[in-house]
Amino acid sequence: MDDWDNLAAGWDEKPGVKEYAKAAFDTLQTVCTELKFELDPSNTEVLDFGCGSGLLSSLLSPLVNEITAVDASAEMVRVVERKGLKNVNARCLVLSEETASSLDPVDLVVCSSVLAFVPDPAGTLGILGKKLKETGLLIQWDWECEKDDEPFGFTQSKIEDNLKKAELEILRLERPFSIEGMKPLMAVARRKRET
């Protein structure tokens, strides 16, 4: 985590970072509208996994009741805390089955440009999927790669494979925007429904 700790203080000023967060937020709102998934300031609970400096949480906070923003970097969590968002509870947490037990069920899980940095993306998605309420959504944005063995991103087929291994139902998988010529993939999923 030292690398992320060292980047935390100046993260929000890096080129493209705020634009990426705003583009992810805009696509989140579009998806919620199209899927008739209401963001309600009186009761929507959100888990922002790998929240970084909290840019996405900052944009989302006026539209929801509470956000639990977790990151493995203590310095990133401090940056979130300094933003003073009243309904954002920032926590330094390395996600595992054990640590996830301290997290309440949520209506929405967001993972913005983080899953390519965890050792077991499918396992992590499985843990996050278990935190979703019955009608909850998980939205993931990660950089698209051409080959499965490239670091810091995923192919479309790898995202599909990870979500299936996590026993999540894929509702959408698309390239929603472009930042400085780079195109992230966005996946929208939910817990598999009993048939």
The string of pLDDT tens digits covering residues 10-51 is 556 666 778 989 999 999 999 999 999 999 999 999 999 999
Backbone angles phi, psi at 22, to 5 degrees: -65, -40
Which pLDDT belongs to residue 151?
67
Range 47-63 average pLDDT? 96
Contact 105, 37 (CB under 8 A): no
CA-wise closest residue to 91 among 110, 111, 67: 67
Q: List the structure tokens of 39.
A: 């963001």
Low-confidence winner among 55-59, 96-100, 132-136, 184-188 (lowest mean pLDDT): 96-100
Measured distance CA(23)–CA(31) in Å, rounded: 12
> Does the pLDDT of residue 8 top 70, yes or no?
no
Measured distance CA(124)–CA(98) in Å, rounded: 12
Which pLDDT belongs to residue 10?
57
Range 51-70 average pLDDT? 96
For 120, residues 6+ apart whose C-beta sits below 8 A from its C-beta are: none
Give the chain's radius of gyration (CA, Å). Answer: 15
Q: What is the mean pLDDT of the chain?
A: 90
Which pLDDT belongs to residue 192?
86
Give the domain extent around 70: 2-191
On whether the pTM is more than 0.75, the answer is: yes
CATH code, domain with 34: 3.40.50.150
CA-wise closest residue to 68 among 55, 87, 43: 87
Interhelix angle 156-165/121-130, rounded to 10 degrees, is: 50
Measured distance CA(26)–CA(160) in Å, rounded: 23
The string of pLDDT tens digits covering residues 126-158 is 999 999 999 999 999 998 988 777 667 888 999
Which pLDDT belongs to residue 9?
61
Domain count, the chain: 1
DSSP 88-123: EEEEE----HHHHTTSPPEEEEEEES-GGGSS-HHH
